[in-house]
Structures are given as structure tokens and as C-alpha cells.
Structure 1
């Protein structure tokens, strides 16, 4: 369908054609495009054999209906440019992933190749890991949730265990927070659940007072509960 069969510019407003009036005149087939049914009926009344047919509008064209364009010397030309730009953007969003989506896919490929060796390396790359979503999570899976980077240490599927969510106590039975060994990889302190997630000497955490603490000895306790095991990083 040509532009003149898709939309018109009335004043400085772009309107989609939604009806076509057809009739015979001097043995020639004539057509007139209308933006609404009332206009179509009024026009068809002029001809005894006129028919009114609705035009099927592609969903990708809906966005342009009713757009007001700036004051311009050539409104139809500018309307065509706007439409072409919008159509291109729609096609890109439909078929071509965004830069962010592509970067996330690339991150997945790189992470599968690099295989970080320890928590510190995983935390340094934590911006590449996905945000947690429901689904099947194998042991070793890593995700971000609630300002932390977590590693799954017990495989599970939330379809079977729907309570395993970041805001539910059951979460800690299946996930452990990662502990970094540098101030840059310090994350808010997470209460220890067992031997799998204790804080080891040399690991860092951020306590409720806003300070970064370095763990001086292996401990199950927070800086508030057992300050002897922690020291503030100046």
C-alpha cells in the first residue's frame, strides 16, 4: 500500500485511512480514502453504486495515527519521513535485539568461556550476570537479586518449589551470597546460614553503619554481634 493509501495530513495531524469508498464513473473504477466511517458514508452517498470497505490497519502503523507534526512547509513529505523512521524503529525492535540484550548474550558466552575461579572474580564480573528469574536453577548458577550476587549451591526448580524466591527464608537453603576479598567487592552483610556461607578471614562486607569491614577470622557473626572478628576499613 502506498503512503497516500495509508495516511493523510489534515492540518498538521497525521491520520490513518480506515475506510475506502469505491464506485464506477465513466467506466472507470474510482476510490476515495477516508479516516473514519462517517466521512466514508457521506462520500459514498454521492454515488448510487458506491461501496464502503474497511481498511485493515497493520498494528505496526497504529502509532502514527493522531500524531501532530511541527509547523512545516511540506507536511506530507515530513509525515512520510516520520513514518519511515518509526517503521524502521519498529522493525529493529521486532527483529534486532537492543545493545543491552546483545551485551547480555555476549556476557553469557564470555562467562561460559572464562569461568571465574573465586567469589572475588565473580563479583568483579557481577554486572554481567542476569537478574534472578523463576525457573530451573542448576548448582553453580549465578544471578543478581536484592543488591547481592548469589550462587546456587543446591539445584531446584521454582515450578516445584515456588517458595524459593529472594524475599523468602527458603531462599537461603538453596543460594549463598558471594563474599569478595577487596573493598571494591564488599556487599551488605548477609546473615550466615551454615558452613557453606560463613565469612572467611580476608573477606569484606558492608555493615548497617555504612562502613566497610574486613573479616579478621572465620566467623558466623556480623560486625555488630561479634566485633572482635571484624575491623573497619579506613
Structure 2
């Protein structure tokens, strides 16, 4: 997607009423998002405290000494003084360096050996410093979450776990666990997985063409809204991505 479209889509979303914006270092679009936020602050549409901004530390920065560095880099890109929520993007440490996905000569990912408990302590320090208001995780299962100890001295536990979640992958067991731990589950791909991703089967069914969903949506003429409402009624935060003005409005509704 052209970077200019990112800025315009974010500004349009803020005008519509969106206040939770989710991104990550990995998406390479935070300069444009930051510019959009600052423009809407400058024209009086919102104040900084109206926006809830989420970002993530990428897998190549999970060494404890790199966690804060990653956050400081993205804050410079955003030209903001803090993020509202900072997540460990994946529970899989990768070889540190400039490559987003470091690979060997055979095209295989190069992993790193990092204690995620040490990574979490560095996340906690980011919260303590005020650079992040809250901290959490992404793509963690129950076992990985339970590896992060509730150690004395830590200022906070994960407040959020962001995972792929939609009617074809409802994450019901993980949601039950998160609720028991007072952790908010946030759903990405809430409208179904993008079949263009290399790790997905091209034969996967398309969620918004599902006959049951379509039958429910026929009464409302909004299949995407039904899929998003499904998450909200379960107590799940739903993320929806679009660059189309009409769909941005429909998703918000």
C-alpha cells in the first residue's frame, strides 16, 4: 500500500470516530501514522489523550537490552512521547539485526535464544519509564503467557494478548483463560485471514462468504459488521483494516 494512503486512511478514520490505532515496527508505516495523528491534533479534531495507540517490538529486538531501543526508535518515527500499549509482537526471538526476517542460505529463519521473562522485565521498564502506558503480548498461547512470572517488583503484568481471532478461529479456550487472568483479548484478522499470506492455504474458505454469516447479515446487509459485532459481544476488542472510505465507516458502525 502506498505510504500516502496510510496517512489519508488514518486521518479519515479519526474523522469517522476511531480512537484505537494499531500498528507495529514491522509494518513500516509509523512515520505516516504519526504524521496523521499530529495533523488531526493540530486541526483540533482530537487531543493526544483521545488516541489509544498500540505498537509492538519485533522479533529481532527481543533481547532485553534492545526492547527499549526499539520503542525509542518507533517513538522518533511517530514523533510522539509515548504509546498507550506496547506489545511483544511474537513469542519467537529472531537473530538481532536490520533484517525484519533474518534467513540463512537455505531461506530458513534464523532464531535467537532469549529468555522471554527477561524480555518482559525490559517491557516492564518501558512502562515504568512512561514511554508506554501499558504493556502486553501478541500471538501468545496460554503456555507462553504463563512463562511470564508475576514476580515481585514488576510494575505490571500483560494487560492484553492480541491474536488472530474470527468465527473460523474463535480462540474460545484462550479467551476464557485471558478473562480469568484479567487480560484483554484483541482480535486481528477479525474479518478472516488474508488469503494472500504465504503461509495460508489458497483453498481456505472466505469468512465473509460463509453461508451462516451471510444469512445473518442478509437482515442487516452488513456481513463485516456482523463479524465485528460477534467479537464485541464476546468481550473481545476487534481490529479491522481498510483503506476504503465507505468500508471504514461501515466497520466503525
- TM-score (normalised: structure 1): 0.24
Greater relative contact order, per chain length (Cα 8 Å cut-off, separation 6+): 2
Structure number with larger C-alpha Rg: 1
Hey, which of these two has a bigger chunk of strand by percent?
1
Hey, which of these two has a bigger chunk of helix by percent?
2
